[in-house]
Amino acid sequence: NPSNGLIKANLYPHKGYPNLGAAVLYCSASGSTRARVHAFHKPPQRGLEMSEFHSGAVVIAIDIDDLLTSMEVRDLRKACRLDPVHHSEKHFFTVGFERYGRPYEIENVLVPGCIEFFRFLFGQKDVRPAFFSSGVRGRNLELGRIVVDLAIGAGGSPAWRDRYDVYSREDCFDTNRLQHHVTDEERRRFQPPDFFGNYKKDLRMIHHGREAYHDLYNRTLRDPGVLAPDPARDAEILTNVILLEEDPSYLFPGQEKNLLLCPTYQHPYPCLVNYQGEDTPIDDPDSWHNTFKCANPLFYAAGVLEHALARRRAEGRSLPEILWEEQGHLWFDRERYKEHYPVHFFTQGRDVLRRYNPELNFAVAGERAVP
């Protein structure tokens, strides 16, 4: 089996392993496969039809890695005792899939509150969850199935299997392909400075539908104006679509109001335990470290969504506009980093997730057990 680093390079060449990722894909592929790496694939996959999209449901597209799950499992397995609330055996699972005829098995662990978070989302009749990761399609499909089945097994409805969608790298807007077809100035409209990822999660793909969007993308290679960012026009068609993401570089330009930015998940050091207090154990405000916030991104997401969805229903306004008022203007201004992720949303999120698991509390750093 490949090492964990090699697997990440193959699946995520844009997340810290750019050269190795390219080498794995190209060295293992023939010329015809090399062309497929840079083209959209169109095998069957879960996805919205236009009639479903316009039914009025809010589509909440959610990133996977370092928000819902983590592949940093090795050190956890070394612990003498794992927290029974956050790290029982059900929280660990292996995703098996094939990529270019080569089998992979990758162990993951759920981020604290993940099962409860999906039970919360599925419990909202006007919400349709979706997984949207720039990982490869086969892996995302299997991982999404596992997470939804875990939520069903924890008390959910089997009908949830027909109430979610999965989008992947093949559905992203790849700005690297543009460099062979458009001028540098035109490409900068799609790839702003300081946003390094080339796979953009263009939410218009969900609006138009996968097949129609792929056709629009291929037309953009000939005429950049076809899918050029147009914030005013795009706001009209994306009133019912938002993206939960921990890395804003995946954002398609002009869709900032549709982003609910969450902290990037990190295991607290030296080990993770379920907090025993009823307060909110925030970090030292003078510290650069966001240990508490980075250990509990789904508590934050649940708090923001509970509040924003309630406002949407009461005020009749669009969810993107409400999200921007509540948190968007804070993360967009890089000088206000101390104000990112308001603490009261973590507290509200704990109340939300506890409806589905009364034992659940924040994940915090504990002392490593001594054998």
Element (DSSP H or E) covering residue 231: helix 231-237
Separation CA 231–CA 52 (nearest Å): 24
Residues 61 and 21 in one domain: no
Residues 25 and 120 in one domain: no
| Domain range enclosing 216 | 38-366
- Check: CB of residue 41 under 8 Å from CB of residue 110: no
Nearest-10 Cα torsion for 47, 186, 243, 70: 90
Residues 17 and 86 in one domain: no
DSSP label at residue 368: P
What is the reported pLDDT for 290? Answer: 80
Residues 60 and 9 in one domain: no
Residues 17 and 126 in one domain: no
What is the reported pLDDT for 97? Answer: 95
pLDDT in tens, 66-106: 999 999 998 887 776 899 999 999 999 999 999 999 999 99
Residue 219 is assigned to a structural domain of this protein: yes
What is the reported pLDDT for 119? Answer: 98
Report, as ranges of residue numbers, the positions in the chain whose pLDDT lies below 70. Answer: 1-55, 80, 285-289, 368-371
Element (DSSP H or E) covering residue 62: strand 58-62
Residue 344 is assigned to a structural domain of this protein: yes
What is the reported pLDDT for 39? Answer: 32
For residue 184, the domain's CATH number is 3.40.50.1000
Residue 371 is assigned to a structural domain of this protein: no
Residues 17 and 114 in one domain: no
Number of domains in the chain: 2
Quote the distance between the C-alpha of residue 260 and its chain's center. 10
What is the reported pLDDT for 3? Answer: 40
